Amino acid sequence: MVDIHFIVNPIAGSGQNSFSEQFLQDYFESDTYNITIKSSGYKGHAIDLTKESIHQKAHIIVACGGDGTINEVASTLVDTNIPLGIIPVGSGNGLASHLNIPKNTIKALHIIKNNKYTKIDVGCVNQRYFFSNTGFGFTANVIENYEALQKRTIWSYVKASLKSFFEFYKKEEIIISIDNVTDVVNPFLIFISNSNEMGYNMSLTPKASLQDGLLDVVIVPKIGKIKMLFFGFCMLIKKPDLLKDVKYFQTKEISLLRKRGAFFESQIDGELSKLGEQSLSIFLKEKSLSVFANDK
């Protein structure tokens, strides 16, 4: 028997996610699969539910939610042999989109049933993991405004971006080291990505791959409002380097050192995260998560 555990975030995306055993049993026959469904009750709960499922000897664990839920479940599965399934019922669904997993639940279930999984790289920010991306500056500010709106829709994302556009003024000097070259930057944003999708079909790192052992980094210096608007447009058409001020490169590791301030305000896989450390080492653990994916 195959023990398959579904961890559902009921408030992700439209906020109406629930899966009945009867519905799932139509795809995973009861003579072959044992199904367990768990629902997360609060932020971070999916981590404990996943730990419990590992303890219960689940063979497959499926995250049903968006990038935040995937982050919680997948972080707990790194370096285990348990493959991660994804049912993308979140808002942005960046990682699922990179893995070519459709939003249609039945099609996404078939990918798990086909039993084809692959190993992907995992991003690390000190002790934390990211699977899609992490970012500092404007990108973290947008997520802060997005979370304050409480509705997780594309319109909330647009509203949050506009609010940040009018308000964002942060002046924060960061010492950045890449391949032993150190620079002091006062960036509009720093965006570091493992995947080529930010969610909502937008990208700042179209060349990124989950299996190339490289982080794709975008650094945008302080820019004026007109350039900010142009940059937003470049992001929509997935050509960030059309803005000449943008530095786009690939690297294995990057370190950030805070000159002052109590924490790094960052976003990790689309969730606001205040990192208390003075310095951050950002790198990849290569091919350390198994995940079901669709052939391109």
Ligand X SMILES: Nc1ncnc2c1ncn2[C@@H]1O[C@H](COP(=O)(O)OP(=O)(O)OP(=O)(O)O)[C@@H](O)[C@H]1O
Residue with tokens 């579904």: 6
Q: At what angle do helices 225-236 and 154-167 cross, to 10 degrees?
A: 160
Stretch touching ligand X by CB under 6 A, among 36-44, 160-168, 188-196, 202-210: 36-44
Size of the site for ligand X (CB under 6 A): 25
Q: What is the x/- site pattern for ligand X, positions 184-223, by CB under 6 A?
A: ---------------x------------------------
Measured between alpha carbons, how far is 19 from 105 in angstroms, rounded to an integer? 10
Q: Is 123 in the site for ligand X (CB under 6 A)?
A: no
Stretch touching ligand X by CB under 6 A, among 86-94, 104-112, 116-124, 285-293: 86-94
Stretch touching ligand X by CB under 6 A, among 37-45, 167-175, 236-244, 284-292: 37-45
CA distances 172 to 92, 164, 180, 226, 259, Å, are: 28, 16, 22, 21, 8
Nearer to ligand X, 105 or 255 (CB): 105
CA-based radius of gyration for the chain: 19
Q: Is 68 in the site for ligand X (CB under 6 A)?
A: yes
Residue with tokens 């009945």: 20
Amino acid at 16: Q
Nearer to ligand X, 142 or 178 (CB): 142
Among 76, 91, 145, 161, binds ligand X (CB under 6 A): 91
Q: Which residues pair with 251 in a beta bridge?
A: 215
Q: Is 134 in the site for ligand X (CB under 6 A)?
A: no
DSSP 126-158: TTEEESSEEEEEHHHHHHHHHHHH---SHHHHH
Q: Which of 46, 258, 289 is nearest to 136 (CA)?
A: 258
Measured between alpha carbons, how far is 198 from 205 in angstroms, rounded to an integer? 9
Site for ligand X in 249-268 (CB under 6 A): none
Among 4, 5, 6, 13, binds ligand X (CB under 6 A): 13
Q: Is 41 in the site for ligand X (CB under 6 A)?
A: yes
Q: Provide the binding-site residues for ligand X, judged by CB under 6 A.
A: 9-13, 40-45, 65-69, 72, 90-93, 152, 199, 270-271
